[in-house]
C-alpha cells in the first residue's frame, strides 16, 4: 500500500469521536499495540482474521487488476465480515425509525457498496504490511471487541479495534475504531447529518452512490 493510499485509508475513519469503553478494550491505553500470545479461538477474532487474510491477499495482487477488479475480489469477504444493516442504522441514527423499508434497503446497499469500494481503492498495493489480531477478545454489553494492528516496515503500527455483534450468520463487524477510539459509525453519522437534514434519504443515497462511483473510477 502506498503512502498516499495509507493516508486515504486513515481518513476513512479519522475524525475524532470517542467511543465509551474502548480504552479498556485496548488494555487501558488508546493506541496500545496488541501482541498475540495464543492461537485465535474466539469466533469474533477468527472472523477478523479471515477478513484480514482476504484483504492482504487482495493487496498482494492489487497490481494485477484495477480497482473494480479489487472490488469484485473483496466483495465476498466484506459481505461475510460486516453487518451492514446494523452499521447503516447506527450511522443514520434516530431518523432511521421514520424511514420506509425501501429507503432503509437502498441506504444499506449504498453504504455497503461504498465500504467495499473504500477498501478496494485505498488498499491498492503491498509494501510488507502485516495484520496482527489480538486473541484476547473483550465482551461489551453482548458485543465483542477485537483489537488489532497493522504494521509495515519503517512505519509506526496503526491500531484498529472492531466491535462485532452476534447475527444469524455469526459474529459480524458493527463498527470500526482507529487508534482504539475513533468510531467509523459516529464519524460517518456526523458527515452525513447535513445531507439527511437537507434532502432526506434520497439525497444521502445519491451522495453515497456518487462517492462509490468516484472511488471505482480509479486514482
Q: How confident is the prediction along the chain (219 residues), in pLDDT tens digits per residue?
A: 443 334 334 443 332 222 333 333 333 333 444 444 568 999 999 999 999 999 999 999 999 999 999 999 999 999 999 999 999 999 999 999 999 999 999 999 999 999 999 999 999 999 999 999 999 999 999 999 999 999 999 999 999 999 999 999 999 999 999 887 899 999 999 999 999 999 999 999 999 999 999 999 977
In whole angstroms, give the CA distance from residue 89 to residue 103: 11
Q: How many domains does the chain have?
A: 1
pLDDT of residue 145: 97
Question: Per-residue pLDDT tens for 80-95?
Answer: 999 999 999 999 999 9
Residue-range definition of the domain harbouring residue 48:
3-216
Q: What is the DSSP string of 26-94?
A: TTSSTT------S---SHHHHHHHHHHHHHHHHHHTGGGS-HHHHHHHHHHHHHHHB-HHHHHHHHHGG
CA 213 to chain centre: 19
Look at the pTM and tell me if it is higher than 0.85. no
Q: Is 58 in contact with 73 (CB distance < 8 Å)?
A: yes
Q: What's the pLDDT at 179?
A: 80
Q: CATH code at 161?
A: 3.10.450.710
Alpha carbons 86 and 81: distance in angstroms, whole number = 12
**pLDDT score for 61:** 97
State residue 110's pLDDT score. 98
Query: Residue 181's pLDDT is what?
Result: 81
Whole-number pLDDT of residue 37: 52
Task: Give the pLDDT of residue 173.
Answer: 98
Please measure the distance between the N-terminal and C-terminal CA atoms of the chain and give it in whole angstroms: 13
Round to whole Å and give the CA distance between 10 and 8.
Answer: 5
Q: pLDDT value at position 178?
A: 86
Q: What is the distance between the alpha carbons of residues 129 and 157, in angstroms, rounded to a whole number? A: 10
pLDDT of residue 79: 98
Q: Classify burial at 6, counting beta carbons within 10 Å of its beta carbon; exposed 0-12, middle 13-18, buried 19 or more.
A: buried
Question: What residue has cell string 421514520?
Answer: 98
Amino acid at each position: 500500500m502506498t503512502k498516499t493510499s495509507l493516508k486515504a485509508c486513515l481518513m476513512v475513519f479519522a475524525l475524532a469521536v470517542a467511543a465509551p469503553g474502548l480504552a479498556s478494550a485496548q488494555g487501558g491505553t488508546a493506541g496500545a499495540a496488541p501482541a498475540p500470545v495464543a492461537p485465535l479461538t474466539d469466533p469474533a477474532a477468527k472472523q477478523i482474521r479471515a477478513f484480514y487474510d482476504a484483504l492482504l491477499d487482495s493487496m498482494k495482487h492489487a497490481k494485477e487488476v484495477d480497482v473494480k477488479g479489487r472490488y469484485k475480489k473483496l466483495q465476498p469477504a466484506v459481505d461475510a465480515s460486516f453487518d451492514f444493516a446494523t452499521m447503516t442504522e447506527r450511522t443514520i441514527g434516530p431518523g432511521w425509525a421514520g424511514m420506509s423499508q425501501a429507503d432503509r434497503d437502498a441506504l444499506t446497499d449504498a453504504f455497503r457498496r461504498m465500504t467495499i469500494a473504500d477498501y478496494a481503492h485505498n488498499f491498492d498495493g503491498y509494501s510488507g504490511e502485516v495484520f496482527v489480531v489480538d486473541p484476547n477478545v473483550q465482551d461489551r454489553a453482548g458485543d465483542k471487541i477485537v483489537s488489532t494492528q497493522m504494521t509495515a516496515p519503517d512505519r509506526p503500527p496503526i491500531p484498529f479495534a472492531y466491535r462485532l455483534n452476534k447475527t444469524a450468520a455469526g459474529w459480524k463487524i458493527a463498527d470500526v475504531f482507529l487508534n482504539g477510539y475513533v468510531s467509523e459509525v459516529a464519524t460517518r453519522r456526523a458527515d452525513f447529518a447535513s445531507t439527511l437534514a437537507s434532502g432526506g434519504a434520497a439525497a444521502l443515497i445519491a451522495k453515497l452512490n456518487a462517492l462509490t462511483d468516484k472511488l471505482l473510477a480509479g486514482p
